[in-house]
Amino acid sequence: MSRHLLQAQEEERKRISRELHDETGQGLMVLRLYLGMLAGDSDSPQLKLKVEEAMTMLDRTIGDLRRIIARLSPRTLEELGLLAAIRKEVRELAKNTGMKAQINLPDTLGEVDREIEIAIYRSVQESLHNIAKHSQAKNFSLEVENQHGALCLLVDDDGIGFSGKGNPRRQSFGLLGMRERIAALGGTVRVRSRSGRGTRLRVMLPVAQVAGARKHVSNVRSQPERRRAHEHVELKHGSRPQPAIRTVKPHTQYANVH
Ligand SMILES: Nc1ncnc2c1ncn2[C@@H]1O[C@H](COP(=O)(O)OP(=O)(O)O)[C@@H](O)[C@H]1O
Ligand SMILES: [Mg+2]
């Protein structure tokens, strides 16, 4: 994939996310309003119950749509910057799945090319999405490092892993797309996984101008929340239940980020 194609792909994603928000999202919100009015006006307790069930389902759909939009658009990246956007993704995965997360980021990345930022952010999104969808892990960790002019992203989980054989007819473009994107920028993606032994993903991207940044281990929760400039509050319904609190074994290195 060429750089030009990558840009076109990002533009297209932005357009789709805008349309989903402005059209599908708005339509669902109007529907919610009508259902709310219907529930209020109804004299029949049975009908009221049904309408309320429909509203609960609708709220879940709105929540799903909001997550899809957030994944499509790099708005979070634009508003927060790469490191805070990564922290947010990690925190959300931990919150939505109940997994324990450890995150290890440099204080700063210095000046990084916009395309590189997007590539790292998209790789983070895809690998975390895979952890949520496939891994059945209890713990995961994410690390970004500056290594001799290269940016290194490491994402680990302790889930079921995969052998890489799978069904060849299955269409899975996530890792493939990531490889192409990173290769177009001169980098490499390595995935190490074995059945039952978890998965490790390593992305290396050459970056000439990254300043040597200090590393520190941080608990995601302790990071100050930055408000998003254009938060789309109208799509905020349907929040997920909080994950169950897990006991962290004394020897485990994973920190609870809820
Ligand atoms: N962290 C993971 N844990 C377990 N299996 C994984 C993980 N990441 C990827 N996989 C496996 O690799 C396959 C390919 O992943 P991907 O290319 O992202 O496609 P998709 O997520 O659309 O299935 C997945 O279908 C899954 O079987
Ligand atoms: Mg995937």
Residue with the two structure tokens 């074994």: 249
- Two structure tokens written together for 115: 């395309």
**Residues with Cβ within 8 Å of residue 49, at least 6 apart in sequence:** none
What's the 234 CA to ligand 1 centre distance in angstroms?
Answer: 32
Condensed to tens digits (0 to 9), the pLDDT of residues 43-64 reads 899 999 999 999 999 999 998 8
Closest ligand by atom to 175 CA: 1
**Residues 198-238: pLDDT tens digits?**
999 999 999 865 344 434 444 444 333 333 333 232 333 33
Q: Which ligand is nearest to the CA of 125?
A: 2
What are the distances in angstroms from CA 9 to CA 3, 119, 179, 183? 10, 12, 15, 15
Using CA atoms, how far apart are residues 133 and 157, in angstroms rounded to an integer?
12
Ramachandran category for residue 91: left, alpha or beta (phi over 0 → left; psi -120 to 50 → alpha)? alpha
Cα of 50 from ligand 2 centre, angstroms: 36
User: Across residues 156-179, what is the average pLDDT?
Assistant: 79
Confidence of residue 166 (pLDDT cuts 50, 70, 90): low
Q: Inform me whether the pLDDT recorded for 21 exceeds 70.
A: yes
Q: Give the residue, by CA position, lying nearest to ligand 1 atom 18.
A: 174
Q: Is 200 in the pocket of ligand 1 (CB under 6 A)?
A: no
Which of 69-83, 129-143, 204-218 is predicted with the least confidence, judged by mean pLDDT? 204-218
Q: How far is the CA of 134 from the centre of ligand 1 (A)?
A: 6
